[in-house]
Structure 1
Amino acid sequence: MGNGLKHCRQQHPSFLYEPLFSSPILEEAENENLRVFSAKELKKATKRFRSARVVTTHDGSVQTFYKGYINDATSAPSRTKTKIAVSVMELECLQHSTPRPKHVWISKEEAESLGEIYHPNLVKLLGYCYEDTKSLLVFEYSHKGSLHDNIFGKEETLPWKTRVKIAIGIAQAIVFLHSINKIPLHHELDMHNIMLDEQYSSKWLYLDSKNKLIGDKGRIVATTYLPLEYAMNGHAGVKTDVFTYGVILLELFTGSKGGEICLNSLDIRTRSFGETIDHRLESDYPTHAAAKMGRLIRRCTKRNWTERPSMQHVLDVLNYIACKY
């Protein structure tokens, strides 16, 4: 183990990406297995759509999820030993005479396109249902819930190493999506949409940021997740995502919501960021790694978007922190 660590420390950070995680792919074969469910099947699988989780994200969108069980082999509703848990997301039905504000709509064609995208740090789409009265997406179930609930909704704390692992997973997903389509993703980057599996690996519930919200009249709403250039003139690009990711890093490592912390006062010195780190960690974290993390967050949230690093560089730094400390 010691020799492996020494070898890891000798590598340039950019070389750490491949060994740590499996490479991303566009898995077209997976789309052949995308299951078309009926509303009746999903009603049975979810015990009559018993509500499990309702989320309002930072941009005001409302997402409703139901926990259900399907057969691992046939994808039929199941309560046997072969069952697997799934998360069923309700979409706004366009047939409603009065659409509910801020609910997400994704067409059948868009759902099929989502089914072609696979990455270990994206929540996997298993199937969908489009009927007159129900529009639903079926995803793999994330047993540890959302990052938001783990950071803000629980007394027990996530260890430093687990938080770094989570940060790397999110960054990997963003880098992958940037590599296949250089469009801004910040609308979907949210602590609520970052899910954790049983090993606390992070998986982003990505729905394709081109989609519009039902009831959204195009207003630009300033939030702590969005940089000044977007709030002022609507400019958005991949560096907008870097800012949003920086705020998520800040929340992840401080345990405080972005609005409660003045980003401009975040000092890059060890002592200052050490005072900001989640108090539940006490002193159980490497101070040099914390200092480097503080500097990374400060760079990601620069006012001038041209001074922010690329997401690949952010990932390299995170991998370096994970390996060296």
Structure 2
Amino acid sequence: MLPNYSDKDENEDGESNSTISLGSSLSPINNSYWLSSSGQFAFGFYKKENGFFIGIWFEKIQQKTVIWTANRDDPPLLKDVKLILTINGSLVLQSEDGQQTSLLNAPLPAFSASMLNTGNFVLYSSDSRIIWESFGVPTDTLLPGQRLLPLGQLVSNISGTNHGRGNFQLIMQPDGNLVQYPANAPIAAALAYWYSKTDTAGDNVTLNLDVNGQLYLLKNTTGIIIKNFTAQRNSSGIAFYRLTIDFDGILRLYSHSWNQSDDWVTEWASTTNRCDPIGLCGVNSYCTLMDQEPICVCSRGFDFNDQKMNNLGCKRNSITNGCMSKNGESFDLQELEAVAWEDNPYSTFPSTKAGCRDDCLRDCNCEAAVFKDQQCSKQKLPLRFGRRQEVGSGTTIIKVGFGSSDTRNASRGKDFLIGSFAVLAFALIVLAVGAILIFRSYRVWKYKKITNHGNDGLIEDVGLRSYTYDELEKATNGFTDEVGKGAFGTVFKGVLSNCGGVVAIKRLEKVVAEGEREFRNEMKSIGRTHHKNLVKLFGYCHDGTHRLLVYEYMSNGSLADFLFKSERKPSWEEKSGIALNIARGILYLHEECETQIIHCDIKPENILMDEHKCTKIADFGLAKLLMPNQTRTYTGIRGTRGYVAPEWHRNLPITVKADVYSFGVMLMEIICGRRNVDMDSPEDEVILADWVYDCFAAGELDKLVKDEEVDKNKLQRMVRIGIWCIQDEPSFRPSMKKVVLMLEGTVEIPAPPSPTSIITSIRIN
């Protein structure tokens, strides 16, 4: 794009912007940037990854927002480089050995430079004309007063932390149409995933953003606005705007109030469906929404290239050459519904679905086919630009080798049936005879159980054992070996041979007196839960007034012991693993078990650890059994002071988001290795949640993990998750499914507001 040779700018008060003279220099360590006269913008070195980049950012905003980067695809710079505006008028990078390389491609030698109050970095000639400006070569962002000229483009960043050229672009086309495309593919109408529908406007149309947040297309030859994307506001200088094509491929207009400490607010977006951008997921994978968040899923017969970065595409999990062997069994066909791909067939013909399958099966070149509108389109791999699309996408037919995880079991079954039919028939006869004998034995056993235990049949079908009080008293040696005590009762160590030896027996105290059937139903619900991060329930006792539960024994105590009492404190990797395992266990209770369970008392004392230090959640499903006056907080509240969500105190309906709040408090304790309330700490650190947010807002997270080796990116991620989880407003807290995805690092986490904010513009449900 051609530079704009304009006069030297002045600020709103008529003052000239600060001048950068020839011979001025910057280094990553000392005097690392040049400020605009207003102090709002900075040009210079900023730190990313393991080095430095040169760019422009908002200096007065806590969350550093970079709006332009020089040489964005180059490797990071080392700390021993210098940026010099030489006496010869060139802006150069100088290495430690004195070698210089030009940073900007200006047509004339510069006489001076300036970081303007508009966010534009400029070089001036000797007659005060602008000979180069950052506004003329935008990266991913457009600022007020900056135009996107015909053939101009914005290209997204790779990610929130990597400012290299990413996967999406916005182009101001010569025909007047503003269009978004995938960046790593030829420009083609079929790949446009958003456009302004102004292709009849003709040439000389520009995209404009003004200081009041109005975003519009202007026909420059007539001065007529041909399309408004947003209405004009009267911000009176108290807000600033930026238009950015984000790394997820969506074009968004953001605003920020100068007189507040809040984050950027989305004013407008090109789409609300976050799977709309073509190319969000890599080859052989497709984008689908989970809780309105985009995730990448491998097609059948494929596994992720990188389990930690699912957007990098998928590879076959078996080998097939695409041709049938003599017996026709070298591969199978898998069908995938409601997914759209790049239309790139090598053969298209009218057909039925069955005919399309058969034709692809016989064709050595056919690796996949799309059946749509009675047309069969045969394709070779890789499949690109996959997106879940319920309407008009047809059926994808994929050739999968029998060695793949999707077909391996089917293949083995088929081979077994063909090669061993006689053996199978004999086995069926044996099984039938065995089933009769087992059934007779079962009826005798069931009759005895009914005789001995009356109505216990309510929960026999879930595999729980019913014990007598005498059995458990004997197993615990008269309830003498106490290993713990909590809100629900006392826990004793015992030995039961049918449970594999040592068990933990919890004697429930002051449970709801009336409600025998309720107790049995709760046992039935708990007995149906099976997850590696939940403490296993072996059985129960309902003998007269006695209520006892028999659990697997957790030999390494509780998470509270490990965090707050153990001489060996957990490493950062252990902390990360503990948090993720607990989150997965809560997710199972909330969404994956047969009956949804709200725990109501998530805290370190209820997280137990087995011999391998694997964390498991205890006391789930018991909240309904606890009498209200047995809580440690207020009457009617179930939970523990410091962990209970604010809605308990407001007489609001209790949902799974109450557990999310408790998890957030506990996550902060895991991060910092201290209790959520510590009266021995300095005054501003007594309440852990408040201190964590203060450190986050000030960019001083190192204070939370003194003298501890941590992964700073993971620390930032976990702190953000914790703050989102403890938002006062339940609807602002993420679901546990979202928490798990965030902990796994598969989704980006927006900067959270203060937990006690009354109003916020961002939700991550």
Same fold, judged at TM 0.5 (above) = yes
Superposed counterparts of 1:222-233, under 5 Å: 223-233=641-651
How far residue 246 of structure 1 moved from its aligned partner, in angstroms, is: 0.3
Task: Tell me the secondary structure at the aligned position of residue 557 of structure 2.
Answer: coil
Write the letter of the residue equivalent to 1:92.
E
Task: Tell me the secondary structure at the aligned position of residue 225 of structure 1.
Answer: coil
1:44 corresponds, among 468, 474, 480, to 474
The one of the two structures with greater contact order (alpha-carbon pairs below 8 A, sep at least 6) is 1
1:146 corresponds, among 549, 552, 558, to 558
Q: Tell me, yes or no, if the aligned pair for 1:121 and 1:204 is still in contact at 8 Å.
A: yes
Q: Tell me, yes or no, if the aligned pair for 1:184 and 1:209 is still in contact at 8 Å.
A: no
Superposed counterparts of 1:1-325, under 5 Å: 7-11=306-310, 31-56=461-486, 61-71=487-497, 74-75=498-499, 83-92=500-509, 107-132=519-544, 134-179=546-591, 180=593, 181-182=595-596, 184-185=598-599, 187-208=600-621, 210-214=623-627, 216=629, 218-220=635-637, 223-260=641-678, 261-265=687-691, 266=693, 267-268=695-696, 272-277=700-705, 279=706, 282-320=707-745
**Under a length normalisation based on structure 2, what TM-score does the superposition of the two structures give?**
0.34
Write the letter of the residue equivalent to 1:143.
S
Task: Tell me the secondary structure at the aligned position of residue 259 of structure 1.
Answer: coil
Write the letter of the residue equivalent to 1:294.
V
Q: Tell me, yes or no, if the aligned pair for 1:270 and 1:291 is still in contact at 8 Å.
A: no
User: For residues 35 and 9 of structure 1, what CA distance do their matches in structure 2 show?
Assistant: 41
Residue 89 of structure 2 aligns with which residue? none
1:172-201, Cα deviation, whole Å (9 max, x unpaired): 11111111445643x221211111112222
Write the letter of the residue equivalent to 1:122.
L
Q: Tell me, yes or no, if the aligned pair for 1:87 and 1:138 is still in contact at 8 Å.
A: yes
Q: For the aligned residues, what is the CA RMSD? A: 3.3
User: For residues 154 and 95 of structure 1, what CA distance do their matches in structure 2 show?
Assistant: 36
Tell me which protein shows more strand as a share of its residues: 2
How far residue 36 of structure 1 moved from its aligned partner, in angstroms, is: 1.6
User: For residues 235 and 95 of structure 1, what CA distance do their matches in structure 2 show?
Assistant: 21
User: For residues 700 and 729 of structure 2, what CA distance do their matches in structure 1 show?
Assistant: 23
Write the letter of the residue equivalent to 2:703.
E
Q: Determine which structure has more spread, i.e. the larger CA radius of gyration.
A: 2
Write the letter of the residue equivalent to 2:731.
T
User: For residues 128 and 307 of structure 1, what CA distance do their matches in structure 2 show?
Assistant: 39
Task: Tell me the secondary structure at the aligned position of residue 139 of structure 1.
Answer: strand
User: For residues 270 and 294 of structure 1, what CA distance do their matches in structure 2 show?
Assistant: 13
User: For residues 643 and 659 of structure 2, what CA distance do their matches in structure 1 show?
Assistant: 9
> Are residues 12 and 231 of structure 1, via their aligned partners in 2, closer, same or farther at CA, if it must alter by over 3 Å?
farther
Q: Percent identity?
A: 28
User: For residues 7 and 138 of structure 1, what CA distance do their matches in structure 2 show?
Assistant: 42
Q: Tell me, yes or no, if the aligned pair for 2:533 and 2:617 is still in contact at 8 Å.
A: yes
User: For residues 177 and 140 of structure 1, what CA distance do their matches in structure 2 show?
Assistant: 18
User: For residues 258 and 247 of structure 1, what CA distance do their matches in structure 2 show?
Assistant: 7
Write the letter of the residue equivalent to 2:569.
T
> Are residues 315 and 30 of structure 1, via their aligned partners in 2, closer, same or farther at CA, if it must alter by over 3 Å?
farther
**Under a length normalisation based on structure 1, what TM-score does the superposition of the two structures give?**
0.75
> Are residues 5 and 276 of structure 1, via their aligned partners in 2, closer, same or farther at CA, if it must alter by over 3 Å?
farther
User: For residues 238 and 168 of structure 1, what CA distance do their matches in structure 2 show?
Assistant: 18
